Amino acid sequence: MKRILLLAFMCLFATTAFAQKNALGLHVGNGAEIQYDRYFQSGNALRTNVGLFGFDGRLYASCIYDWQCCNWTDWTPSAGDWFLHAGVGGAVGYCKTSKRGEGLNIGVTGNVVFGIKFNKTPITLAVDYRPTAIAINKDWRDGWFNLGLSCVYRF
């Protein structure tokens, strides 16, 4: 578990040298995670999530680089900018439950995010699909069906 936390903090602090905008919030889907986003001038983002996967004692950390695919500023100009991001990254997890056994999980995760950045408040709401393919230990059989909702505060 110390390795997972160390990896999560390394991903979090490695992003500080490159970007100008930050966001911190909550991602709820097939678990509950703290989400940290670092936005680049190009509109791309680096997302780091740490939390529980599946609400059954599995810990999870991921670091995903998201490319800005589309940005719609004219859909609701008074409300905010709509966006579509897609990306890929790495995932690390640890499981210690009687039902699933114990072990370290390492794999690849993807991300497709559709959301809105509000104009008058620094809040971003997004819906995402984040499939995860585990290469070591293969414990996360439900990693392919990870739909979620994110709410982050930009600063």
Residue 77 belongs to domain spanning:
2-154
**Is the pLDDT score of 93 beyond 80?**
yes
Domain with residue 59: its CATH number is 2.40.160.20
More confident residue, 36 or 75: 36
Please name every residue paired with 109 in a beta bridge, in sequence order, or none if there are none.
89, 132
Q: How many domains is the chain built from?
A: 1
| Pairing, β 132-136 against β 147-154 | unpaired
Residue 138 has what pLDDT? 57
Report the percent of the chain where pLDDT is more than 70: 79
Give the Cβ contact number of residue 131 at 10 Å. 15
- Measure the CA–CA gap between 149 and 155, rounded to whole angstroms: 20
Q: Is the dihedral of CA 16, 17, 18, 20 positive or negative?
A: positive
Q: What's the predicted TM-score (pTM) here? A: 0.78
**Is the pLDDT score of 15 beyond 50?**
no
**Is the pLDDT score of 7 beyond 50?**
yes
